[in-house]
Amino acid sequence: FEKFEDVRPGIGKPSRSWIDRECRRIAKEMMTRNQAFSNLVESAYPNAVRLSIHSHSNEGPKFGIDLLGGVHKDRVVTPWHNVIVQNSDGTLAIKKREDVNLLKYE
């Protein structure tokens, strides 16, 4: 949303409230599409095991898998929301980007 001048030529920079409204509208569209896709997959493959990188209750119909093998505060961690760092002793750790001391890691 930083360069709306490109999207809205001649109008200029949008207001914060306009950006907030657009973000809410886009988020609702994304949730609607996600639910529609989920319904389609469920109807097309009713007996399939459905895996997800997101946390789920694992009671069905989707089951969350942990790609990185670490749980952080009762949620599945993903490479999209975290970084992997190598400590000085050679061990690997999964951390939130904002929790990584950039002076400690290259």
Query: What pLDDT sits at residue 82?
Result: 80
For every residue of 11-44, which 3-state class applies, written as one string?
Answer: CCCCCHHHHHHHHHHHHHHHHHHHHHHHHHHHHH
Q: Residue 84: which pLDDT band, with cuts at 50, 70 and 90?
A: confident
Residue type for position 41 = V
**Does residue 3 register a pLDDT over 70?**
no
Residue type for position 50 = R
Residue 83 half-sphere exposure, CB side, CA atoms within 13 Å?
A: 12
Question: What does the pLDDT average to over 46-57?
Answer: 83
- Comparing CA positions, the residue from 78, 83, 26 lying closest to residue 52 is 78
Tell me the pTM.
0.55
Q: What is the pLDDT of residues 4-34, one digit of tens each?
A: 555 665 667 778 888 899 899 999 999 999 9
Query: What pLDDT sits at residue 73?
Result: 59
Query: What pLDDT sits at residue 69?
Result: 66
From CA 71, how far away is CA 64, in angstroms rounded?
Answer: 12
Question: What does the pLDDT average to over 35-44?
Answer: 93
For every residue of 37-67, which 3-state class applies, written as one string?
Answer: HHHHHHHHCCCCCEEECCCCCCCCCEEECCC
